[in-house]
Structure 1
Amino acid sequence: MYDAGVASDSGLKTIAMQRVNGSARVAFAVSGGTTRLTDLYQSGAAKIRLPKVYDLPRTAVLINTAGGLTGGDRLSYEVDLAEGAHAIVTSQTAERAYQSVSGSAKVTSLLTAGKDAVLEWLPQETILFNRSGLSRSLRAELESNARFLMLETVVLGRKAMGERVNSVFFRDSWRIRRNGKLVFADDFRLEGNAEQILAGPATAREGQAVATLVDCTPDALDRLALARSCLDNLAAGTVRAAASAWNGLLTVRFVSDDSRDLRNALITFLTGYRSADLPRVWHC
């Protein structure tokens, strides 16, 4: 896609590429004992779909109709759960960051959960292609004893296609606050030759797919045994994982050199840990 040409320093006319600029928000509240939609807004390439579900909490599916991200693209999402509401936010498919001519794509997410609310942020994986640039930030604001369960997965290229990622820029920044107090901060930065950076034993030991789960809940310590039990139940394969809990937070880190193995492990873990099936888009 492109718009009108612009003059370069050399006097030659070049093509100014069209960029994605989208935003979407969704809100839920309890009415009549049921979580119901109270607000929905979408513009540009950022869309939200609300499938009918009968055996799961209310589910919002994020869609980037541009089909991927590249340098200069902008997407923003907002999710708000009022007191006592329970909802799952996921994505239609894997997000893809493609080769960038210049700059990075930027994606921001603002999530809020009121007292006794349960917000599950469970998007499918993000695939970083060679020479891609992506900067993401996620901010969650929790009230009182709200629970926030989030997962993010990053895959470097498609192994089955023989793709290699030897030049990339990726920045992921998370901030979670409860009653205005910062309780969790995590920053991930990958710049340069990803294969070399992730080859060391202190990084990913040549793993090309990584995932982090955070369960921000007052009873996190009580959930640690369950999390480790679910990890023990994972099928033997290339996935390595470990769980820890402290001060109302439980985290699990996963790494694998095969994205399919990691995806299968995440489905098994999340189903067992949550005692519930994942949204159907995870199985399409």
Structure 2
Amino acid sequence: MPTLEDTTLLRSGAHASGHRFDGERRWAAALSLGFETRDEGADAPVTRLARRWHRGPLRVQRPFYPEGKTGCCHVYLLHPPGGLVSGDELHISASVAEGGHALLTTPAAAKLYKADSHGVAWGQHTRLQVARNAILEYLPQETIAFDGSRGRQTTTIELEPGARTLGWEVLALGRPASDLPFATGALEQRFHLSQNGIPLWLERQLLDPAHRRFTGRWGQGGATVQATLWAVGLDDETAAIDALREQLPDNHRWAVTRRRGVLLLRYLGNSRNEAWALCEQAWHLLRPLLTGVPAHTPRIWLT
């Protein structure tokens, strides 16, 4: 029979071994990056990864300059486990100082695994800060949510006046090719984008297969893949939207709009490849308009 100590531990969500089985269980990992500009005698200032700190299995290797020494600084975010399980708590933060230009991406798809028998959730929280006249591109590869996954994902973007940013989030629900749909579990996504302290885009989305919104035509409509692309700092948003509508595939699975200086492109369908190709093509169209330089595909996407 359990001892009084065992009973007390179980009521608190803990086990005699020291492990917890409630919402207080945390296997934390964190990564903080800081980009600065430096005058190194080149024709233009150079963006350098001046600060990096990590805890747990989150880190980066050396930065890359595929666009030239004074071009955009490319950095790959590495999470060696490759996915999130119950109790994982990831915190990623990055800041770009005035005049800098950085691009963040990942080497592979992130996986959100099925929750344990206690239903403990995971969490992933990203905070991006962009200073005046700086540029940050946040282009992670897609996220795959396994059936039964439970967790919360937040993205917070804080811009100073004159800051520019372009990014996306591609989410695939379940693994339909293996006949393993996203039939149980619950995900929550939150986006918070502000400039000079003023909120421009606030969004909260719940993905629960048990809710009628998940299959209703007025909601998710049974779609298994969704994507959101954002861009802030375009000189002519109308011209950018016209270019997207003229050059992207003509179908009903995507739409583009703008509000309060934020351009938003949405995809809702059933193909990861289609969603990724759409976002990448949109990036190729928007990047020259936003940054003045053509898109340069990160090498890691081709491996």
When normalised by structure 2's length, the TM-score is 0.82
- Aligned partners of 2:230, 2:300: CA distance in 1, in Å? 21
Q: 1:49 to 1:232 in 2, by over 3 A?
A: farther
Q: 1:283 to 1:224 in 2, by over 3 A?
A: farther
Query: Once the 2 structures are TM-superposed, how far is the Cα of residue 135 of structure 1 from its aligned partner?
Result: 0.5
- Correspondence for 1:80: 95
Does structure 1 residue 211 correspond to structure 2 residue 211? Answer: no
Determine helix, strand or coil for the equivalent of 2:167: strand
Contact 2:213–2:221, Cα closer than 8 Å, also in 1:
no
Does structure 1 residue 252 correspond to structure 2 residue 269? Answer: no
- Correspondence for 2:60: 48
Does structure 1 residue 97 correspond to structure 2 residue 116? Answer: no
- Correspondence for 1:134: 151
Query: Once the 2 structures are TM-superposed, how far is the Cα of residue 94 of structure 1 from its aligned partner?
Result: 0.9
Which residue identity does 1:66 align to in structure 2?
P
Query: Once the 2 structures are TM-superposed, how far is the Cα of residue 249 of structure 1 from its aligned partner?
Result: 1.2
Q: Deviations over 1:38-82 (max 9, x none)?
A: 101112011123342322611121121122101211110110100
Matched ranges for 1:195-234 at <5 A? 197-217=213-233, 219=235, 222-234=236-248
- Aligned partners of 1:48, 1:20: CA distance in 2, in Å? 19
Determine helix, strand or coil for the equivalent of 1:198: helix
- Correspondence for 1:144: 161
- Aligned partners of 2:242, 2:18: CA distance in 1, in Å? 53
Matched ranges for 1:22-61 at <5 A? 22-32=29-39, 33-55=45-67, 57-61=72-76
Contact 1:70–1:134, Cα closer than 8 Å, also in 2:
no
Determine helix, strand or coil for the equivalent of 2:108: coil
- Correspondence for 1:63: 78
Structure with the largest fraction of strand: 1
Query: Once the 2 structures are TM-superposed, how far is the Cα of residue 224 of structure 1 from its aligned partner?
Result: 3.5
Which residue identity does 1:203 align to in structure 2?
G
Determine helix, strand or coil for the equivalent of 1:127: strand
Per mean C-alpha deviation after superposition, the further-off stretch among 267-276 and 86-95 is 267-276
Query: Once the 2 structures are TM-superposed, how far is the Cα of residue 7 of structure 1 from its aligned partner?
Result: 5.1
Q: Deviations over 1:93-126 (max 9, x none)?
A: 1111001112211111121111100111111111
Query: Once the 2 structures are TM-superposed, how far is the Cα of residue 133 of structure 1 from its aligned partner?
Result: 0.9
- Aligned partners of 1:19, 1:183: CA distance in 2, in Å? 32
Percent of aligned pairs sharing the same letter: 24
Does structure 1 residue 279 correspond to structure 2 residue 298? Answer: yes
Which residue identity does 2:229 align to in structure 1?
L
- Aligned partners of 2:174, 2:216: CA distance in 1, in Å? 19
Matched ranges for 1:93-172 at <5 A? 93-101=108-116, 102-172=119-189
- Correspondence for 1:178: 195
- Aligned partners of 1:22, 1:241: CA distance in 2, in Å? 34
Unaligned runs of 5+ in 2: 40-44, 288-293
- Aligned partners of 1:19, 1:197: CA distance in 2, in Å? 31
When normalised by structure 1's length, the TM-score is 0.87
Query: Once the 2 structures are TM-superposed, how far is the Cα of residue 153 of structure 1 from its aligned partner?
Result: 1.0
Query: Once the 2 structures are TM-superposed, how far is the Cα of residue 236 of structure 1 from its aligned partner?
Result: 6.2
Which residue identity does 1:280 align to in structure 2?
R
Query: Once the 2 structures are TM-superposed, how far is the Cα of residue 127 of structure 1 from its aligned partner?
Result: 0.7
Q: CA RMSD in A?
A: 2.5
Contact 1:242–1:254, Cα closer than 8 Å, also in 2:
yes
Query: Once the 2 structures are TM-superposed, how far is the Cα of residue 128 of structure 1 from its aligned partner?
Result: 0.6
Query: Once the 2 structures are TM-superposed, how far is the Cα of residue 282 of structure 1 from its aligned partner?
Result: 2.5
Which residue identity does 2:199 align to in structure 1?
L
